[in-house]
Structure formats: C-alpha cells, structure tokens
Amino acid sequence: MQLQQALAAQQVLVQAIRQEEQIDQHVLDAFSHIPRHEFVLEFYERVLNNKHVAWRQHKQTEIREDAWLQLVYRDAALTTRLDANGFPGSSSSMPSIMAAMLQALQIKRGQRVLEIGTGTGYNAALLAYLVGDPHLVTTIDVEKELVELAEPAILRCIGPGMTIIAGDGLRGVESNAPYDRIIATGSYPNVPHPWLDQLAPGGLLLMNLQRNLANIMLLLKKAEQGVIAGKILPIKASFMPLHDGTGAYYRCPVPHKPIEPVLQELSSPPSFQPSNLSHKEFGFFFQ
C-alpha cells in the first residue's frame, strides 16, 4: 500500500475528529501516528435486500487501494466480525467516539492502562502511543481469534511489549494491576468489581453501561481512600455487549432473595444497596 496515499487518508480522518470534538493535540497526534488500515483488513456493511437486512463483506484484497483507504478512514464504526447468528460480534469503533473517550480519560505518559475488549487492536495501539510505552498497556479479549489477528498489527505499529491476553475481561487482569486507567470497549449492565479492585487510587475507569432503557457513558474515579465517584459523560455511543466467547451475552445475576428497601428514610444520607440494580423490576424503575 502506498505510504503517501495512506497518510493523506489518515489526515482526512484526523481533521474530521478535530472538527467534531474538543480534542487535545496529544490525542490527535495518536490518530496521526497509528494507521487504522493496519487493523481493518475486512469489514461488513449492512444492506437492505428485499426488505431483509443482509451483510455485504468488503476485503482489502478485493478493492482498489485508494477506494479501500477512503472506506477505512471514514469517521464511522466498521463491523469487523459477525457471530454465528449473523449479528455484529466485533467492530472498529467510530474514531471520533474513540477520541472523545481517550480525551475523557486524560491519559498521560507513564500511566499503566487496562483495555477490556481488544477487538482489532487499533484502540490498544492508540493507548500505547498515549502512554509512551507499549509495556504499560494490557489488553484482553474473550475471543482468541481476535487476539491472534490483533497482535501482529499491534507489533507492526507500536513494537513489542504490550500484554495481549485471550480471556474473560470481566475479571480484568490482576497480574498487571493496579492500573491508572481502565477502558472498556464493550457494554455491561453494571460495573464489575474486579475492575474497581484493580484500579489504582486516583485512577479513572470509563465504560458504556447499558441495561433495560439506559445507555450511558460512565466515568468513575477511585479516591485515595478507595471511595468510587463518577459522572455520566455527554458521549452518545452504544457498544456491543460483552459476551462469553460463544456469542451469549453476559447478564447481571438476579438476587434470589426479595428486594431490600431501596432507601431508608431515617438514615442520613439515605443508604442504597447496589445489589438492587440487579433486580429487574427495580432496574426499570430506577432508570
């Protein structure tokens, strides 16, 4: 692939990101240095065929070079994998959304980062550029095949040193903890406790929380005393639910015991039982 064409297409994407969001130069530089086309060698486009939804596959090897670069460097999410039922199983997220999330994490050089959901490896490579050393980045994905595809692309773009694991991301990666930053590129109905346990004091965790009617981008901070506080960010995005590797989505357990009182009126401040969020009826009411 001709380098000049690729660089030109890459800069078009960077300019699109610059116009969409208030993004720091450090984050823009990451998108300028990490080539998206190295991580997306094929993708699926949803089309309407006789009133039925179908998927059209696009492969780098089957499309003219300049046309392929224009497709890959659009500011758009690209579905890169379908599951056994024909539903999207993995994607390269919309770059402007990725940039907004990286901006929200305030990533600095020298910080240790955990990514839940390696996918194509593109975001992991961006993280490595931002922290300045691939050895500081740990990324995990439940699908071994995705990890095997992402690893050589990561090596080509940022060199050796990153910890790339095939495994259950809900458990985090305790061996490399604590992390200054944790980012999840798949959605989940609550905040997994291992992520909070593995977050360093003062660290930030960013995830897409989805349950019933809620779809929010949640940024949490762990105080020095271990207290977790956070806020909902105005980032409009929806990520694919985390799954167990077979395509079955992870779901929060429903308590077997009757739901406890949600608020105790006499306590100050009112106390809240986090387990109530796993209760189907209350979860709907709460939202």
Q: Look up the CATH superfamily of 3-252.
A: Vaccinia Virus protein VP39 (3.40.50.150)
d(CA 28, CA 132): 14
Average pLDDT value for residue range 131-146: 96
d(CA 204, CA 95): 21
Which residue, among 174, 68, 166, has the nearest Cα to 114 in the 3D structure? Answer: 174
Q: What percent of the chain has pLDDT over 90?
A: 66
Which tokens sit at 281?
């009826």
Using CA of residue 240, residue 241, residue 242, residue 245, what is the dihedral sign? Answer: negative
As a whole number, the mean pLDDT across the chain is 87
Domain residue spans of the chain: 3-252, 254-287
The confidence score (pLDDT) of residue 259 equals 46
Instruction: Please report, for residues 9, 103, 207, the alpha-carbon distance to residue 107 in angstroms, rounded to integers and kept in the order given.
Output: 26, 7, 15
d(CA 89, CA 92): 11
Q: What percent of the chain has pLDDT over 70?
A: 84
Residues found in the chain: 287
Residue 262 has pLDDT above 80, yes or no: no
Average pLDDT value for residue range 172-186: 97
Position 130 confidence tier, pLDDT thresholds 50, 70, 90: very high
Average pLDDT value for residue range 6-33: 93
The confidence score (pLDDT) of residue 266 equals 44
Angle at 7 between CA 61 and CA 66, to 5 degrees: 35
pTM given for the model: 0.86
Position 261 confidence tier, pLDDT thresholds 50, 70, 90: very low
Residue 263 has pLDDT above 60, yes or no: no
Query: Per residue in 84-97, pLDDT tens?
Result: 778 888 899 999 99
d(CA 244, CA 168): 7
Q: What is the dihedral of CA 250, 167, 239, 60, to 10 degrees?
A: -130
Query: Per residue in 106-129, pLDDT tens?
Result: 999 999 999 999 999 999 999 999
Is 93 one of the annotated active-site residues of the chain? yes
* Identified catalytic residue from 90, 91, 92, 93: 93
Query: Per DSSP, what are the bridge partners of residue 179?
Result: 199
Beta strands in the chain (DSSP E): 42-49, 52-59, 78-82, 88-92, 113-116, 137-141, 163-166, 179-184, 199-211, 214-222, 228-233
Residue type, 176: N
Residue 251 has pLDDT above 80, yes or no: no
Query: Per residue in 20-58, pLDDT tens?
Result: 768 999 999 999 999 999 999 999 998 887 777 789 999
Query: Per DSSP, what are the bridge partners of residue 116?
Result: 140, 184
Identify whether 134 is preceded by a cis peptide bond (ω within 30 of 0).
no
Residue 268 has pLDDT above 60, yes or no: no
The confidence score (pLDDT) of residue 283 equals 61
Q: How many CA atoms lie within 13 A of 215 on its CB side?
A: 9
Helix (H) or strand (E) holding 93: none
The residue behind tokens 């039925």 is: 52
Q: How many CA atoms lie within 13 A of 259 on its CB side?
A: 15
